[in-house]
Amino acid sequence: MLDYAFQFVDRVFFHIGAENIRSQKAIVKLSAKKVREYQKEHRNVSEVHYEYALEKSDWFKT
């Protein structure tokens, strides 16, 4: 899926909850970098989320 996305864009963003350690570790293994932290309302509860960016140049190095 990422190969397809990178045919059209140079960067893909992933939004992962702060509690989701497993997904954070997995996306870092793909060479993504954390770019920001933000609060998100979900079912009337404010939750911390992280945004990761995966660059096309980093994806094709792996």
Model confidence over 3-36: pLDDT tens digits? 999 999 999 999 999 999 999 999 999 999 999 9
Higher pLDDT, 45 or 52: 52
pLDDT grade, residue 62 (50/70/90)? Answer: low
| Superfamily grouping for domain 2-59 | Gcn5-related N-acetyltransferase (GNAT) (3.40.630.30)
pLDDT on residue 17: 95
Report how far residue 60's alpha carbon sits from residue 1's, in angstroms, rounded to the nearest whole number: 13
Q: Would you state the torsion angle of the CA atoms of residues 55, 60, 61, 62, taken in this order, to the nearest 10 degrees?
A: 100
pLDDT on residue 33: 97
pLDDT on residue 25: 98
Map out the domains of the chain as residue ranges. 2-59
Report how far residue 32's alpha carbon sits from residue 50's, in angstroms, rounded to the nearest whole number: 12
Q: Is 37 a residue whose pLDDT tops 80?
A: yes
